[in-house]
Amino acid sequence: MMGLPILMLFSLILAGCGRQTEDKPLQYSDAPTGAAQPVYRFAVHPLHNPVKLIQVYQPLIDHLNQQLQGAHLELEASRDYQAYEEKFCARAPAFLLPNPWQTLQAQKVGYQVIAMAGNAEDFKGVFIVRKDSGIKRPADLKGKTVSYPSPTALAAAIMPQYYLHAQGVDVNRDIENVYVGSQESSIMNAYIGKSAAAATWPPPWRLFQRDHPAEAAQLKLIWETPPLMNNSVMVRDDVPQAVRATVRQALLALAQTPQGQAILTGMETARFHEANDVSYDRVRDYIARFEKDVRPVEQR
């Protein structure tokens, strides 16, 4: 009989597979009525489903708010990658934590990189399969389904697909690609057998193993891609210099205190590193090669 944890996890898949037409995020204002200080939205891309993302990242926002004077941050989650990308294209959030491909897109509308979230070597795609799947080499996926969070998920879709391409698998013809909305949904698709393999990246896989050990025990990591740049932290170009400087300094100093280390552990992030827009030029080159060899990143 399927227990409550499995039912809850299964609901993530249904949410990821059935796309809605409208996203209705919480409404915030940079100048709320009756408030003495501006509120800035800090939007993290869908590393997890919205409930899990709030649990993981709220301690970071609370810590940053302790450092800020005369301003306040509000954490914002998104239903899926498309909803998140629509938000920053409209310049709605003041701060972003996007993946590297989204970083390039956000630069076009006036966001600037102030840090990198995590070590570069941790930003890689991984493939998860059931231990009883019989999958041993990439060619074994031909004629089968592979799940991903989104076509624009760099570590969890683009890099895995480029890996399969390099291994002789035509990802446009040899396999069925399904985009299920979140990292957890991708993993759960493999767990319940809806996909032969799930593409994700190390932090969500580590969290899944920690939070759902019984289910994770039936899965295994079978392949991983070479690493690239990790996720960035970005700020909109009209945010006051004092606010952006305080946030940047607090992020870079996070690993220096026990409280900060606990926050980083909860996010499965080693530390924040210095970075700027130029740091992500190598991602631009990688995406150009991928689009030439495999497919356009954005699915029309």
pLDDT of residue 286: 96
**C-beta separation of 234 from 112 below 8 A:** yes
Residues 6+ apart with CB under 8 A from 126: 160, 199, 200, 201, 202, 205, 221, 223, 224, 225
pLDDT of residue 28: 41
With bands split at pLDDT 50, 70 and 90, how would you rate the model's confidence at 31?
very low
Among 49-53, 164-168, 178-182, 197-201, name the one with the lowest average pLDDT: 49-53
Expressed in angstroms, the distance from the first to the final Cα of the chain is 41
**What tens digit of pLDDT does each residue of 101-145 get?**
999 999 999 999 999 999 999 999 999 999 999 999 999 999 999
Strand 145-148, strand 197-200: pairing: parallel
pLDDT of residue 8: 45
pLDDT at 11 over 50: no
The residue among 93 and 15 whose pLDDT is bigger is: 93
**What tens digit of pLDDT does each residue of 212-253 get?**
999 999 999 999 999 999 999 999 999 999 999 999 999 999
Give the mean pLDDT of 284-293: 96
With bands split at pLDDT 50, 70 and 90, how would you rate the model's confidence at 16?
very low
CA nearest 174: which of 134, 143, 205, 198?
Answer: 143
pLDDT of residue 217: 98
Give the mean pLDDT of 254-266: 95
| Domains of the chain from N-terminus onward | 36-121+229-290 (3.40.190.10), 124-226 (3.40.190.10)
The residue among 188 and 49 whose pLDDT is bigger is: 188
**What tens digit of pLDDT does each residue of 172-207 get?**
999 999 999 889 999 999 999 999 999 999 999 999
The residue among 31 and 194 whose pLDDT is bigger is: 194
What's the whole-model pTM score? 0.80
Question: What is the average pLDDT score of the chain?
Answer: 89
pLDDT of residue 300: 61
pLDDT of residue 35: 52
Read off φ and ψ for residue 131, nearest 5 degrees: -65, -25
